[in-house]
Structure formats: structure tokens, C-alpha cells
Amino acid sequence: MWDTTGAEGADRLGARRRSRRAPIWGVEKGREVKRYGPVEQPGAESSPRPTTFLRLPRLCNLEAVDVAFVGLPFDSSLTGPAGARFGPQGMRLASLVLRPNYNPSQRIQVFDRVSAVDFGDSPVRPGFLEHSLEMMTGTLANVHEGEAVPVVLGGDRDVTLAGLRAAAERHGALALVSFDAHTGLWEQDGGTQAHGTHVRLAVGEGLVDPQRSTLVGMRGGLRHPREYDEAREMGFTVVPWDDLAQLGSGMLAAAVDIAAGKAYLSFDLDFVDPAYAPGVLTLEVGGPSSAQALALLRACRGLEIAAADVVGVVPDRDPAGLTTALGATVAYEILTLIACERRPDA
């Protein structure tokens, strides 16, 4: 029995109740993480327990949470092959073998700086794009309301629009830093939303500030000769892969400077050459290797990330699991970028 008489007894009882409300999940060699981190125990990566990203606790209560991974399992608006709705679970499974506590590339102890959880999947209604966008936007709005940064596990490219709507509702027009083999500025055909129009729609809704935004990695054929020029005329900094291959990580450091405030970071796995990521929606050859892509992403250190997504993963197109492994690593690197901007004692 606890002695609850006097201040000392009340303090002990209060501490016991607080520990029940907010258990410490992550411990590394006996040292507690900030609040929530990966489950560290032998065999955790092969446990039959429900899979969560990085073995994080699955919680909907966002008290004392800095980052929440959210699955948006939607792909009903595709013009290409289906299967991106399985991307969130594929990346969760691939993340089980990652060792996320210390990131040697950024030289930080990640969970000393951020408390992170898996928020689960948003509900969607397959076949009904607008209804599903409303549902996904509402789920992400709840994360923002809880003052956590949502990192989306997609899902096809259209889930980015839900991410931007929720983030802009909270923060106003955002800078967009997009890693993608396409601009996302295609025009709608026949008045219905088509795959590849998400950036154009976001600009039209006032969710994105083109003057502070950078699009990198585009390659392959274009619909017309002025596609890149039109994006630049809208205000975007546009860096096709042929140019980015020459400019390197300094171009992403410049994108951070251009953003100058709250930003949305979006990474479509088709940014990477299909030799390294074959399980994607649109195969565009001649892109960066996985090592080059990760180096470019890490160069975004200093970006004030309000929300982010990793999209375009189609696990069924890659039986070897290369793409889900890379997608999980990209999401982890985004978590690290967020952690880089937090003090260990924050």
C-alpha cells in the first residue's frame, strides 16, 4: 500500500499516476529517451505483435508527442497501377530492422530530442477521392491540433494534397520542398482530379507559396516544351535531375534558405532510379541512386518541417523489398531532420 498521508505520500501517489498515463517506451542501454521511442528488446523486429513504424508505440493521445507517423492507405485515383494503399504497412514492416536511436550521418541521438509515436492509419473510402481526402485531412488536422508534426506514410501522390490542406489550415501557406520525378503541375482533364495535379491544386487553394518552394529531381519526357518554364513562371525554383546531379547537396541547402519558414517536405519514391526503387507508381529511369537520394535529403537540415510525406511505394511491384526498405529509411531520415531542430532538453 502507498502511504498517501502528507506531502511526501501525495507526491509518490502523483508520480505513480503520471507514470501510468505516460509510460516510457524507449530505453537504450538503461537510458531513458525523451518520452516515446522504439521498443528495445531482443526479438522485437520479429515479434508477432502488431507492426508499428520503427517499433514505436501506437497511440492516439498526442500529449508529450513531437512527431506522429500516420498511414494514408489510399490509391483509388491512380492513372497507373494500383497498390500504393499497401505502402504504409510495407514501410512499417521494413522499418522493423532499422536501428533508429543514433543517426551517424547527422550525428545526433534522435530520441533524446523528439518523442515519436505511430498514430495508425486514417480511414479512407476507396473509389471516392474527395470523400477520402476529407477523411485524411481530418485525421492529419487532429495531429496538428495535438501540436505534433505528422509524417505521412502513403499512399499515392494525391495524399499529399490532404497533407498540405491540414498543414496549411494550421500554419498558413507553406513552402514546399518536393523530391519527385514529376512536377505535380499537370492540368486537370475534364474537371476531375487526375494523378500528378496535386501541386497545381495546392497552389490554386493557397496552400503553397511558390516563391518559397523548390521542386527537384524531374526527368523523363514532358507534355510540352515549356512545362518547366511554366513552373518557374508560377514562382517555383525548378531543378530537374540533370541539373541537380551537377549541383549536388548545395542545391538542397539553398532550398532550405529559400523556404524561410514553415515547410512541407514531400518525397515520392519515383525520385530514385528504379534500379534502386522498382516498386513505385511511375518508373522513370536515369535518376539518383539510393545513396545519392539520401545524401540530398540529409542536406535539408535546417528546414522548419511542419509536415512531411513519403509516397508512391507499391510493395507488390518489388518482391525483394528494396523500395519499402528505402521508403522506411527516408521516413526515418525525415524524423532525424525534425530532431535536428530540437534541443535535447526541449
Tell me, yes or no, whether 22 lies in a domain.
no
- Written as one string, the DSSP assignment of 183-222 is -S-PPPBTTB--TT-HHHHHHHTT-B-GGG-EEE---S--
Task: Compute the average pLDDT of residues 89-97.
Answer: 96
- Residue 124 resides in a domain: yes
Least confident of 70-84, 134-148, 248-262, 324-338: 70-84
**Total domains, the chain:** 1
pLDDT, residue 45, reads 55
Judge whether 10 lies within some domain. Answer: no
Instruction: Quote the pLDDT of residue 86.
Output: 95
Task: Please state, in angstroms and rounded to a whole number, the distance separating the CA atoms of residues 275 and 290.
Answer: 9
- The band of 224, judged by pLDDT with boundaries at 50, 70 and 90, is confident
Mean of the per-residue pLDDT values of the chain: 87
Which domain does 251 fall in, by range? 33-340
More confident residue, 25 or 227: 227
- Whichever domain contains 261, its CATH number is 3.40.800.10
Residue 82's pLDDT is what? 80
pLDDT of residue 36: 81
Three-state DSSP state, 31: strand
Confirm whether 14 is domain-assigned.
no
Q: What are the tens digits of pLDDT across the range 198-219?
A: 999 999 999 999 999 999 999 9
In a domain, 297, yes or no: yes
Which residues neighbour 145 within 8 Å (Cβ) at sequence distance 6 or greater? 170
Residue 283 located in a structural domain: yes
Domain annotation covers residue 252: yes
Q: What is the mean pLDDT of residues 121-130?
A: 92
Count CB neighbours of 62 within 10 A. 19
Model confidence, pTM = 0.87
Assess if residue 18 is contained within a domain: no
* Pairwise CA distance, residues 185 & 174, whole Å: 17
Task: Give the mean pLDDT of 72-97.
Answer: 87
